[in-house]
């Protein structure tokens, strides 16, 4: 049993009450949601991916098109971590809340599909997915399973089974637009919700970072769990700086069992 301070326990009870009173709760998750599963985030000092690499040099659409070997060399360690990762207790807690009707949808900035592996059903992926790859020439879409293992274990760059050109993972790189259908769905959820929980996101990447403001503008409650402040902490009903994998199960337990 995780022990929290009395102040945090009071905030957990308050957050649980928000969920129980809500009719349409939506979750927004970022990279910090998956760090307990062993996947690094992007902006944490020292450990974040962008503390070691320049994003426009390694993770842009231009790099993929002009120097695909450089992109895949950078991408391989991250792909390996994602390939072997398993849902952590926070993923499982959200799936349980959804199964009991307390969560209507999850909007995620993550590409690791861990929400789906945990059992969540309504997941809107804003930055793409590692489940599929698409040919840069003929646009044939391939399931990632057949290509990820050779890439992760031996560094084999995936090629299209139809035309032989390089397959691009269906993740959104710098210089690419967000998937239109996903963006429209996310905006709809933000505008319809009466509670939004932001978990593991620094809210620094637009346009997704603007979704909580859309919810607030329509009168929704806002809760935030993150290891560093966000621009909306001052607008939130409750803010936690706890480990998401410890805190969300505690909130879920309080929601379900009082």
User: What's the CATH number for 40-84+128-171?
Assistant: 3.30.1600.10
Instruction: Decide: residue 227, CB within 10 A, 0-12 exposed, 13-18 middle, 19+ buried.
Output: middle
Helical packing angle, 68-84 and 145-154, nearest 10°: 100
Q: Is 115 a catalytic residue?
A: no
pLDDT at 211: 98
Q: What is the DSSP secondary-structure string of 125-191? A: ETTEEEEEEEETTT--EEETHHHHHHHHHH----B-TTT-PBEEEEEPPBT-PPPHHHHHHHHHHHH
Structure tokens at 23: 């009719």
pLDDT number for residue 50 = 44
Rounded CA separation 50/247 (Å) = 26
Residue 47 is predicted with a pLDDT of 44
Tokens of 220: 């929704």
* Coil, strand or helix at 10: helix
Query: Which residue out of 91, 115, 127, 221 is catalytically annotated?
Result: 127
Q: Identify which of 96, 88, 94, 89 has the alpha carbon closest to the alpha carbon of residue 108.
A: 94
pLDDT at position 48 is 44
Tell me what pLDDT residue 51 has: 44
Q: What is the pTM of this model?
A: 0.91
pLDDT score at 1? 66
Q: Low-confidence residues of the chain, pLDDT below 70?
A: 1, 42-56
| Under 8 Å between Cβ of 158 and 166 | yes
CA–CA gap between residue 231 and residue 198 (Å, rounded): 12
Q: Name the CATH code of domain 1-39+87-127+178-258 (choices 1.10.286.10, 1.20.1740.10, 1.10.1200.10, 3.40.50.1220).
A: 3.40.50.1220
Domain ranges for the chain, please list them: 1-39+87-127+178-258, 40-84+128-171
Cα separation, 56 vs 121, in Å, equals 33
């Amino acid at each position: 049993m995780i022990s929290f301070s009395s102040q945090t326990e009071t905030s957990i009870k308050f957050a649980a009450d928000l969920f129980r009173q809500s009719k349409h709760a939506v979750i927004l998750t970022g990279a910090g949601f998956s760090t307990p599963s062993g996947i690094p985030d992007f902006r944490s000092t020292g450990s974040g991916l962008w503390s070691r690499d320049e994003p426009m040099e390694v993770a842009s659409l231009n790099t993929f098109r002009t120097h695909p070997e450089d992109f895949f060399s950078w991408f391989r360690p991250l792909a390996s971590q994602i390939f072997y990762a398993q849902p952590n207790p926070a993923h499982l807690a959200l799936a349980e809340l959804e199964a009991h009707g307390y969560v209507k949808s999850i909007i995620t900035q993550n590409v690791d599909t861990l929400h789906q592996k945990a059992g969540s059903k309504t997941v809107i992926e804003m930055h793409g997915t590692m489940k599929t790859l698409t040919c840069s020439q003929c646009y044939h879409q391939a399931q990632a399973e057949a290509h990820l293992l050779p890439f992760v274990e031996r560094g084999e760059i995936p090629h299209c089974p139809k035309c032989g050109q390089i397959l691009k993972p269906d993740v959104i790189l710098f210089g690419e637009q967000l998937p239109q259908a996903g963006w429209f769905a996310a905006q709809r959820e933000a505008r319809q919700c009466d509670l939004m929980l932001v978990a593991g996101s620094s809210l620094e990447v637009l346009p997704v970072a603007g979704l909580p403001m859309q919810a607030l503008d329509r009168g929704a409650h806002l809760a935030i769990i993150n290891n560093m402040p966000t621009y909306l902490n001052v607008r939130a009903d409750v803010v936690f700086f706890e480990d998401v994998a410890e805190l969300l199960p505690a909130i879920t337990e309080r929601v379900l069992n009082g």
